[in-house]
Amino acid sequence: MIAKQKTWFITGISSGMGLEIARTVLEHGDNVIGTVRKYAEAAYQALDSAINLHVVVLDVTDEVAIKHGVEEAITRFGKIDVLLNNAGYGYLGAIEEATAAEVRRNFETNVFGVLNVTRAVLPYMRKERAGHIINISSMFSFGPKAGWGIYAATKYAVNGISEGLALELKPFNIKVTSVEPGLFLTHFQGNSTAEKAKVIIDDYERTEVGKKRAELFSDNIKRLGDVKKIGHVIVQLANAEDPPLHLPIGSDSVKAYRDNTLKYWEDVNEWEEISVTTDDPDYFID
Residue 240 CA to residue 45 CA, distance in Å, equals 30
- Which of 6, 14, 138, 156 does the annotation list as catalytic? 14
SS3 247: strand
Paired residues of 180 in beta bridges: 248
Residue 167 CA to residue 217 CA, distance in Å, equals 39
Q: Where are the alpha helices (DSSP H) in 13-99?
A: 16-27, 40-46, 63-77
141 is catalytic: no
Asked whether the beta carbons of 133 and 165 are under 8 A apart, the reply is yes
- Which of 89, 91, 124, 151 does the annotation list as catalytic? 151
Angle CA(5)–CA(227)–CA(42) in degrees, nearest 5?
A: 70
138 is catalytic: no
- Which of 91, 137, 141, 178 does the annotation list as catalytic? 137
CA distances from 106 to 221, 226, 236 (A): 22, 25, 30
Report residue 61 CA to chain centroid gap: 15
Asked whether the beta carbons of 60 and 66 are under 8 A apart, the reply is yes
39 is catalytic: no
Asked whether the beta carbons of 145 and 208 are under 8 A apart, the reply is yes
- Which of 6, 155, 175, 196 does the annotation list as catalytic? 155
The residues annotated with a catalytic role in the active site are: 14, 137, 151, 155
